[in-house]
Structure 1
Amino acid sequence: MVDNVKIFGSDKVLKELEKSENMVFACVLGNTEVSKIEGISGAGGSPEMTPYTPALDVELMLRNEALSLPEIAITESDEVPAPTPGLLTKTTYELLDMPFVAVSAGLEVEPKTSYISLNGQPGGDLREGKGVPNPKEIYCNAVETGKLLTQLSDHLMIGESTPAGTTTAQGVLTALGYDVEGKVSGCMMHNPHELKTCVVNRALEKNNVKPGDLKDDPFKAVEIAGDPSLIAIAGLAIGSSVPVTLAGGTQMTAALALIKAIKPDFDFSNIAIATTVYVANDETSDILDIVNQIGDIAVYAADPKMENSSNPGLASFAKGSVKEGVGAGGSVLYAYLKGITPEEYLEKLEQLTAAVFG
C-alpha cells in the first residue's frame, strides 16, 4: 500500500510504475469549439482564451514561461483564480527529471516549443454536429507514436490538456452506449451537467444518432461528438508495448471506451487510470461507475494534500476547483512511488507557483 494513494482494483500497473526506471510522460494536446461555449469550462480563465490553454501548459513545462500569451493559463474558480494543474506535473518534472513529450492531436494554437504532431485538426462545435474531422488519421499516427515512444521506455504515462474535454468525453461515451449523464467531472466547483448534456444531445440529434447507436463505430463517435485528444490517447495506448498509465480524470474513461471498441481483445490488465483524490471523491461525478461499465480496470487516486497550501489558488483544488488536468494525478502518484513525500512535493509546488505567478 502506498501512503496517500487510494487503489481501486488491481495494483499491477501501479507496481509496474513503481519499478519503472525509464518512464516517459506524453501530454496530448487538443482544442475544440466546445470550449468557447459560455459556462462549460473554466480553463484558461474565459471562453475566448481556451484555445491557448494547451500551448501555455506545455510552454510552462518546457520553458518555464508563457510564450503564446503574456501570462500562464489559469482556471476560473468560484472563489479565487486557480493556477493550471500543469504545475503539479511540472513539480514532478522538476523533482525527478521526468522525461516529457508534448503530442499535438489537433490544436487551434500550437505551442512555441518542440512537440510531436499527429497531423490532427481541432474539433468543432458539437451543437453543429461537428466533432473531429479526421479521427482515423489521428489514431493511426498515434499508434505509430505509441510504438516509437515505448521502444525508448518501460512505462508510458499519458496526460492531456483539452479544454471542455469532459463534455466531449460524455459525447463519445454516450454515442458508444454508456450511461454517463451527470457522471463526468469538471474543472469548476459547479459542474454544469445540464449544459454538457444539452450539447451532447444536440450533437447526436444533428447526426440522427441515438445513444449507443455507434457502439461498433468508434471513429464515427469521435467524428460527431468527440475531441482529437481522446482518439489520440486511445491510439497511443494501443500502440504501446509497455504498461500504460492514463493520467487524468473522467476524460480518460472515454479513451478506454474507444480502446475497447477499436480493439476488443486489448489486455486491460496492463492499463490503469491515475487521477487525483479530488476527482475520485467528487460528489458531482462518478469515475468509478463509468470505469466499471467499461471493464475490470484499475483506478489510482493520489492525494496532493493541497488543503495544506498557504496559496489560496492551490488550496482551492481541495475544495473542488480544477481537480485534474495535464496529468496531475498521475504525476503526483509517480512522485510518491519514487520516494517524494507529500511535504516535499507541496513545498516544491508552492515554490514553482510563486515563481510563475508571483
Structure 2
Amino acid sequence: MRALRYYGPKDLRLETDLPEPKCGSTQVKIRPAFVGICGTDLHEYQSQTFIPKYGSPHPLTNESSPVTLGHEISGTIIEIGSNVSNLGDLKVGDRVAVFPLLCCRTCEPCKGGFPNCCVDKGFLGLSGGGGGLSDYICVQPEAVFKLPDSISLEVGALVEPLAVAWHAVNQSAIEAGQASLVFGTGPIGLSIIQCLRAIGAGSIIAVDMVPQRQQLAKKFGATHILDPTRIDVSHAVRELTGGNGPPVAFDCAGVPLSLEATIRSVCARGTIINVAIWEKPVALNPNDLVFHERKYIGSLTYQLADFGHVIDALRTGHLKPEAMITSKVSLDRAIEDGFEALIHQRNKHIKLMVDLSATAS
C-alpha cells in the first residue's frame, strides 16, 4: 500500500510497500479519493507541534511519528466489519466523507457531548490511526457520513473544513440579517462566509490583503472587502455598520492586527469568535472587552452534527464551495506540487487537493 508518511519537519516520504490495514470487526474500510492539505498539515511540515514525536505516543492511538497524513477525506466504502450494526443504509460502494476527530469518550467534555474539547483529543492523519493520504484507511462507523449523489468526491473532501466554519458560526449565535466581520479569507474564512450566507446572515465584511482571496470572498457572498494594509479596519467597519460595529466578528487570521481589529470593531456586547490557531502568544488588553461587555469565544473544530448540517447544506445548494479548490495533485507529487507549492505559492492557492481517485471506485 502507498502512504505519505510524516517523519519530521520537511521530511515526508511516499512509501509504497506498506501493509494494507485490515478492517476490524467494528470498523469500516475506506479507499480515499480526495484529501485536502490543511493549514495544520502545512504547519507541521515546517515545524512539528501537534504530531506526537517519536517516543512520546499519542494517548488515544499509542502512535508517534512517523504517521500517515491527511484528515480532510472523501472516499468509497470497500468493506464493513462483521460486528458493525449502526451504519443505517450505508453499504459497500457508497461515497462518504470522514469525520477525523479522535476522542476518549470517557472524560467530562466527551460525556457532556463535546468531543472536540476532549482532554486527549486527536485527529486521524495527525495523531496516528491512519491517514487519508494512503490507499486505504479503517475508521469507526460513526466517522462515516454518506455523500448524496449530487455531491462530488472532490467537494466531499471539503466537508471537514466547512464543518469547522459551520461550528464557528453556530457558536457565534448570529441571527439572520445581522452583519458580521470575517478577518482572514483563507480556506476557513471563505468557508465561514459561505456558512453565514447559508444561514441568511446580513452584510459580511471580509478583510484580506491577497487579491485572489478578496475576489473569492466576494464570489462567496462578502458584501464589503477591506485591505488591512490600506485602511484602519475597525474605523471602516464601524462606518459600514452605522457607527456601531457588527454584533459578531470571526478571527481567522491569528495575528496581532486581527485580534485588535476584531475586538475593536464589534458593537457593545458583541461577540468575537476566534477560529485561528495561533503560532505565538499575543498581547491582549482586557479593557477592550470589559468596557463594552464584549465576549471573546474560542471555537474548536466541530461536532458530529456539524458534518451533517454541512452535507445537508451542500445537498440543497446553500453551500457551493467548488471554487475553493484551486489545484489537484497526484499522491506521488504531493510533496513538490502540494506542500511545497503551498509554501512558495501561498497567494495562488486556497484549497489544494491530493487526488487518489484513480484507485477509487
**TM-score, normalised by the number of residues in structure 2:** 0.28
- The structure with the greater share of residues assigned to strand is 2
Higher relative contact order, chain-length normalized (CA < 8 Å, sep 6+): 1
Given the two structures, how large is their TM-score scaled by the length of structure 1?
0.29
